Amino acid sequence: MGLSWKERVFIALLGIAAASGLTMLILILVKATNVFLPADTKFGIVLDAGSSHTSLFVYQWPANKEKDTGVVSQALTCQIEGPGIASYTSDPTQAGESLKGCLEEALALIPQTQHQETPTFLGATAGMRLLSQKNSSQARDILAAVSQTLSNSPVDFWGAKILAGQDEGAFGWITINYVLGMLLKYSSGQWILPEERTLVGALDLGGASTQISFAPQGPILDQSTQATFRLYGANYSIYTHSYLCFGRDQVLTRLLAKLAQNSSVALVRHPCYHSGYLATLPLAPLHESPCVHTTDSMNFTQNLTVEGIGNPGECVAALRSLFNFSSCEDQEDCAFNGVYQPPVHGQFYAFSNFYYTFDFLNLTSRQPLHIVNDTVWKFCQKPWKLVEASYPGQERWLRDYCASGMYILVLLVEGYKFSEETWPSIQFQKQAGGVDIGWTLGYMLNLTGMIPAEALTQWRAQSYSIWMAGVAFAVLTLVAILGAAAVQLFWTQD
């Protein structure tokens, strides 16, 4: 017997109600999946305005932080075209203009809806520290120019300032230890503080300054060399010091100026340049450096003829004369120039010009100190023609690798007091954990502690509960309406 028309209508209405309920259930599941997606990603931009060039970095981290610190990763790096911003003294506006290309690249990566909440900071290092000493108004004009460019961009501009040498060293230390997993690691589905860890020291050699930062075994007796911070719920206290005018470029400039002052003629016999090297150099750049203390007797309008003699012994002696070692004589906790330093302790990463110089000399494989010393001496003794023929296309810095290698040895061994026993603890690296080493990532990590994390988990849980209640109400209402309609139809029709 077939179904009556009433029964067929009733079944159809029930089918519609069931289909509606199923649709709502699917929507619930979709919404649930969306609610439990990873929290929103935050972005930050840091510009490292060094003495020789500027780099832009974009970092990202989940909005939900771990113990008040973001889990930061590098999303983009961009090299600004042109020299360091301190070079734009004659036209400061060009310092700001130079940033626009990389800034556009960064903004293209970051979702447009997040541009206005992306913290952006420019930190100028030793090049601008020197310019500020020499001509503070020029330094202010340059900072004003880059600030205007960044202020006009659709970002949350946190400022442009000259970074203190101590901060540069401390943030570099944070960067290395973070990317090596010494500050935080992922285990069993959660981020935890590593139980067994060996904190790594940082050795940075820039163009105008050099920094040493590490966690000493004993207490830090000079508070001016102490940096403290809190990351991922743990407190850290490290020794850090920055030596202005002891960066690679400024040391080479100071060395040439000292040799020129000691010469009675306009010919300098340079012990750190290879034998057979001969060049005519202007004296004016020596006078322009705040690190060079010149005598009035020197005529900086003339040129200087420089002849290389390739004498590593005299080269070391000339480099030593740039230090004041006597001020630390017979003092265990003293480096040079009267600066307090506890004994070096633990493993160290040496980066920037430490790495570039030793990479050129093939000395980044943790060779013993005596082999490193022997390799540098033998390189310095090579004739210039042989060096030129051996390294085609590298003429720009080729003459300076001997002096740079010797300087690194004097700085690390006689300055920072590394010995034959502690030398193997130094790793000469460009990167750590696949990330370029520098102060910017450490700065961003520290900055995330000052950026409020959105309470996304709580908000999403609340909105999910409200949404679920609304959907359930809608389903029950629909079923009730359809049911009532069916009953009404059934009883009112014959």
- Which range has the worst mean pLDDT, 128-137, 404-413, 469-478? 469-478
DSSP 372-431: HHHHHHHHHTS-HHHHHHHSTT-HHHHTTHHHHHHHHHIIIIIIS---TTTGGGEEE-SE
Model pLDDT, residue 195: 73
Contact 482, 16 (CB under 8 A): yes
Residue 288, helix vs strand vs coil = helix
Distance CA 387, CA 382 (A): 7
Query: Is position 97 annotated as part of the catalytic site?
Result: no
% of the chain residues with pLDDT over 90? 62
Residue 129 structure tokens: 């520290």
Q: In the structure encoding, which two tokens stand for residue 289, read together?
A: 């450096």
Residue 318 buriedness (CB in 10 A; 0-12 / 13-18 / 19+): buried
Q: Is the pLDDT of residue 172 over 70?
A: yes
Tokens matching residue 346: 């633990």
16: pLDDT confidence band, cut at 50, 70 and 90? low
Place of tokens 């193997």: 424
User: What DSSP string describes 436-492?
Assistant: E-SSHHHHHHHHHTTSPPP-HHHHHHHHHHHHHHHHHHHHHHHHHHHHHHHHHHHHH
**Per annotation, catalytic residue among 168, 414, 421, 454:** 168
| Contact present, 204 and 165 (Cβ < 8 Å) | no
Average pLDDT over residues 448-477: 46
Computed from CA positions of residues 352, 358, 362, 363, in that sequence, does the dihedral angle turn out positive or negative?
A: negative
**pLDDT tens readout for residues 92-108:** 999 999 999 999 999 99
> Distance between CA 322 and CA 319 in Å, rounded?
6
SS3 content of the chain, % helix, strand, coil (to 5): 45, 20, 35
Rounded to an integer, the average pLDDT of 171-181 is 92
Asked whether the predicted pLDDT for residue 30 surpasses 50, the reply is no
pLDDT band at 387 (very low <50, low <70, confident <90, very high): very high
- Banded pLDDT at 274 (limits 50, 70, 90): very high
Return the ∠ at Cα 52 (arms to 172 and 319), rounded to 5°.
80
pLDDT reading at 124 higher than 50: yes
**Residue 257 scores a pLDDT above 80:** yes
The 10s digit of each residue's pLDDT in 308-357 is 999 999 999 999 999 999 999 888 899 999 999 999 999 999 999 999 99
Confidence of residue 227 (pLDDT cuts 50, 70, 90): very high
> What average pLDDT does range 45-50 have in this prediction?
95
How many Cα atoms occupy the beta-carbon half-sphere of 307 within 13 Å?
A: 8
